[in-house]
Structure 1
Amino acid sequence: MRILISNDDGYFAPGLAALASSLSQFADVVVVAPERDRSGASNSLTLDRPLSVKRAASGFHYVNGTPTDCVHVAVTGFLPHRPDLIVSGINHGPNMGEDTLYSGTVAAATEGFLLGIPAIAFSLAGRHGNFDTAAHVAAELVQRFIARPFARPMLLNVNIPDVPLAELGSCEVTRLGRRHMAEPVIRAQNPRGDTVYWVGPVGPEQDAGDGTDFNAIRRKQVSITPLMIDLTARDQLGEINTWLNP
């Protein structure tokens, strides 16, 4: 089993090291990750300059680009063999609800999925740093995939409660929840007296009921959400047709 690992926190992130260490015990693992933190990069590709791949002392490879760049370059040119699975993470912080649209962690997995490869994004839903718990969950799910591969490529978004392993619940298949709008930007001045703006924190949860990723994490359950890429609003096709042809 050949596994390509990437992330958005950078090749030096502890979550990446924990994930690579865990999966390398039973799979052929290659790491290609961004050279710096690219959190929130979403599915952006670098098209205005060339990209380079370098090797760190850890053996990990790093790219001067986005998480999507990393997977795209690795799969379409850098690696000598096509991976059997793309794994992204372990992100330091949750990727739930609309966060998945901005997440570089999810974007790295998405790029693999778009290239026809099964992909899983792993995120630690908290800031306490229980990466050993998340790595344990990742290893279990990847081993399950090896034993029972998907019939067709799938894209899974996995969020793991940031708790010791002894406190962790079971796995639940969930849907994405929803948040309210983000908090306002934070206005400040830089040392030159220019007005600058910091993006504010995410808004509070709006839809966090039964079956959502938010609800599962609140109950210390592992949230597994299958994602799709088709953004077509199918229930609005008829309405737009009528609008165009009254």
Structure 2
Amino acid sequence: MRILVSNDDGYFAPGIAALAAALAEVGDVTVVAPERDRSGASNSLTLDRPLSLRRAANGFHFVNGTPTDCVHLAVTGMLDHLPDMVVSGVNHGANMGDDTVYSGTVAAATEGYLLGVPSIAISLVSKQASDFSGAARVARDLAERFLREPFRQPVLLNVNVPDRPYEELRGQKITRLGKRHKAEPVIRSVTPRNETVYWVGAAGQAADAGEGTDFHAVAEGFVSITPLQIDLTHYNLMPGVSEWLAR
């Protein structure tokens, strides 16, 4: 099995090293990741300049672009064969609820999905992560299952793993995305040159975190697996908009 690995934390991040090592036990792994941290890049493509592809001493490839650029470049130009799976991560921090809209980790997996490849985004729910081996092993388990029982169509899975040893995980739960409260306000500061600058504030706390959500599953010690789709059409609102336009 050929596996393309990417992330949004950069090719040097410990999470991607752990992920690549774990998946190498399952198949032939190629790593193509951003040259620097591109967290929050979402599904952005670089269209205003050319991209460069380089190879690090550890064999990982890195691109001067976004996570989406990395997967797009690899699948449509670099690789001789379409990968059997794209796995993005292991992200340092959660990608639950509204996070998925902004996440570069999820975006890398989404690009694989859009290109017709089954894809997984995997994140370790921790602010002070030091051991990514448990989350990497979860990714390996999913890849092994896919190898035994491939999906009949491309699938996009968003996986969040509690920060605890693999042996202490309580299992897996299929979940829906929860929802956060409104984000914290931007943080204003002044530079030594007396210029006003702003830092984006922290994400809000979970508002919809009840049973069945990704927030709830992780809080209870379960691996959260959320199947995602890309169709943003609000079908229930179509008749109302049509009526509004006809007035």
TM-score between both structures, scaled by the size of structure 1: 0.99
Aligned-pair distance for 1:160? 0.3
CA distance in 1, matches of 2:33, 2:39: 12
- Given residue 29 of structure 2, which amino acid in structure 1 is its aligned partner? V
Does residue 36 of structure 1 match 2:36?
yes
Segments ≥4 residues shifted beyond 3 Å: none
CA distance in 2, matches of 1:108, 1:64: 14
2:242 aligned residue: 241
Pairing 1:127-146 to 2, within 5 Å after superposition? 127-146=128-147
2:65 aligned residue: 65
Query: Gaps spanning 5+ residues in structure 2: where?
Result: none
1:199 aligned residue: 200
1:176 aligned residue: 177
- Given residue 105 of structure 2, which amino acid in structure 1 is its aligned partner? T
Question: Contact between 2:26 and 2:143, CA under 8 Å: does it hold in 1?
Answer: no
Pairing 1:28-107 to 2, within 5 Å after superposition? 28-107=28-107
1:157 aligned residue: 158
Does residue 111 of structure 1 match 2:106?
no
- Given residue 81 of structure 2, which amino acid in structure 1 is its aligned partner? H
Aligned-pair distance for 1:166? 2.7
Aligned-pair distance for 1:80? 1.2
TM-score between both structures, scaled by the size of structure 2: 0.98
Aligned-pair distance for 1:222? 0.0
CA distance in 2, matches of 1:165, 1:75: 31
CA distance in 1, matches of 2:178, 2:26: 34
Does residue 148 of structure 1 match 2:179?
no
Task: Provide, for residues 198-218 of structure 1, a one-character-per-residue CA deviation record: whole Å limited to 9, x for no partner.
Answer: 001011110000000000010
Aligned-pair distance for 1:167? 1.9
**Identical residues among aligned pairs (%):** 65
- Given residue 151 of structure 1, which amino acid in structure 2 is its aligned partner? R
**Partner secondary structure for residue 182 of structure 2:** coil
Question: Contact between 1:68 and 1:108, CA under 8 Å: does it hold in 2?
Answer: yes
How many pairs align?
Answer: 246
**Partner secondary structure for residue 22 of structure 1:** helix
- Given residue 94 of structure 2, which amino acid in structure 1 is its aligned partner? P
CA distance in 2, matches of 1:46, 1:102: 16
**Partner secondary structure for residue 105 of structure 1:** helix
**Partner secondary structure for residue 20 of structure 2:** helix
**Partner secondary structure for residue 124 of structure 1:** strand
CA distance in 2, matches of 1:132, 1:87: 15
